[in-house]
Structures are given as C-alpha cells and as structure tokens.
Structure 1
Amino acid sequence: MILQLIAEKPSYGYEIIKSIQERLGGSYAPSPGVVYPMLTMLEEMGHATVVSEGARKLYTITEEGSMSLAENKAIVDAIFARIDRVRGEQTSEGAQQIERAVANFRMALRMRTGKLTTEQVHAITDIIDAAAKQIERLV
C-alpha cells in the first residue's frame, strides 16, 4: 500500500500517514512505528529512493518498485477495494453514531482525573470487557 502511495506521488512519511488516514475516513492512522520501518525496508529492497531535505525524507518509487507494484497489482487493488468498502461502511449513520459513542467513551476516560485505585481500575476494565462481549455476540 505504501509503495502504491509513493508511486502516485513522492511523499514524506508524515504525508503517507495522513494519506492512509484520509483513505480510511479518519478512522485509523498508522503509527510512525509502522510506516517509517516499512519505508526503510522499501529503500533497502531498492523499491524506493530517498532524498533528505533537512530532517525530512522524500520517498520516490524506483523502476524496480514500479515493476514489483505491477507484479502485485491484484493484491494492491484488493487492499484498496477493501479500504474503500470499509470507508463506505463507516460513513453510514449507524457507524457515525458508534464513532460518536466511542469518542464519548474515550473522553470520559480522559476526564477521569487523579490516580485510580486498584478497585476503580478493575471496575473500569470489567465494564469495558462486558461491553466488548455484548458487542461480539451481536455480530
């Protein structure tokens, strides 16, 4: 996927992260700990070149990378089709309501000030585990 993105447009690591996040409708962004090692691997394999611009590195696909991408076109197309399908599912009203509820849940956890007692930690994890089990049963 990353090789396809730099084939479309030479990019910096941060731009690749943002591009993936945008393609998934903002629901997921890969961590730098996933993207940058992959970029290094692509460079070591000869599939990408790097031009340093200060602290930033611009990644560009090589001819070898283009050939590899062409050889794996079916796989890459399947990945992007799945991303498009997931994004389409997430734009439904039900998915938006779920995302809002998850954001509300995260905010409630963040707003919890002070150190939690062991009992509070256990109570919170029990609530989360119980909710996860109920959701699993729905699917």
Structure 2
Amino acid sequence: MHQLRWNRAFLPRRMLWLLLLDTLSKEPGHGYDLIKRTGDRFNGMYSPSPGVVYPTLQKMAIDKLVTVREESDGRKTYSITRKGRNVLKKNRHVIDMCEALRSDPNWKAKAKLLRSVWSLVHKVASGLKDMPPSRVEALTRLIGATGSRVDELLKEES
C-alpha cells in the first residue's frame, strides 16, 4: 500500500503515517493538534510540517484509515477507522521501534543511520526494473558482504 522511504525527511513517510494513526488511536484530533501532539511525543525535537501532515491525512482518508468530520469553525477532525486500527496493529513494530529510538540519548545518530539504510534500500529498489543480471549479481555480492560486516559490528562489544 505505502512504501517506507525517508525522502530526506526526519522520519520515513510511512513512519509519520503510522505515528498519526497511533496518535488518533488515543483520541481524534484536527491537523494542528496532530502536529502538536507529534511534536510533544518527540519532546519538541521533531515536529512534522503542515505540508507533510495534511497530504498524509488526505491519503489516509482516501485509503479509509481515517474519517474526516467538518467542524463549524472550518477545521477538520480526524478519527481512526477500524481499518486504520487493523493497519496500526499489523505495523506495531514500527511504532515500537520509533518509541525505543526516541527514548535513546543517541537517537539523532541512530535516526541518521536508519535514514542511510532506507536511502540505500530505495536506491536499489528504484533501479531494479531495468537492471541487467550482471549488476544484480554484483549488487547482491556487495550488499551480502556489507551485511556480513554489519553482523560483525553488531556483535562487537561496546
């Protein structure tokens, strides 16, 4: 449905989408309220821009993950749907990872690492369509070797 990609942002688009669903699972809210609650969740270190939040909410409404109610003051109040709760439940691990990351004192460096990983995934995925078999094999070897080195680094004592 949605792909997880960073797009040079603090959070990958799907992570924001899931954070908004998680926030709405606690109580409905309007766009500005959701921006504020997300900022509060990150202790003010990150606050999504309206230019990202509102299109994300529109897409979530199209996908029937949220409902939208027009208020008399012109604001729109968003509520999570049953489908939205099911999607959130299936992706709980992403929210849990985000929560663990933001409670870590070294979270900025770790977020940068994750951005690098997702950027690499996106680069490879976007080039697959017309990639010749020889390049697929070369990239498979390169990424396999890199994965082995990552395993070694993860096993090292801090």
Q: TM-score, normalised by structure 1?
A: 0.59
Structure 2 unmatched runs, 5+ = 1-18, 109-158
Residue 83 of structure 1, CA deviation: 2.2
**Structure 1 residue 5 corresponds to structure 2 residue 38:** no
Higher helix share: 1
Aligned to 2:54: 36
SS at match of 2:70: strand
Match of 2:74 among 46, 55, 77: 55
SS of equivalent residue, structure 1 residue 85: coil
Spell out, residue by residue over 1:83-138, the C-alpha distance to the aligned partner (whole angstroms, 9 max, x if none): 2325988xxxxxxxxxxxxxxxxxxxxxxxxxxxxxxxxxxxxxxxxxxxxxxxxx
Structure 1 position 74, deviation (Å): 1.0
Distance 1:48 1:69 in 2: 12
Q: Which residue of 2 aligns with 1:65?
A: 84
Task: Report the AA paired with residue 69 of structure 1.
Answer: L
Higher radius of gyration, 1 or 2: 1
Percent identical among aligned pairs is: 35
Query: Residues 22-53 of structure 1, C-alpha deviation per residue, up to 9 Å, x if partnerless?
Result: 11111221110011111111111010000010
Classify 1:33/1:56 alpha carbon distance in 2 versus 1 (closer, same or farther; 3 Å).
Answer: same
**TM-score, normalised with respect to structure 2:** 0.52
Q: Which runs of 4+ in 1 moved over 2 A?
A: 83-89
Indicate whether 1:46 and 2:61 are aligned. no
Q: CA RMSD in A?
A: 1.9
1:118 is matched with: none
Aligned length: 89
For the residues of structure 1 that align with 2:86 and 2:106, how far apart are their CA atoms?
Answer: 29
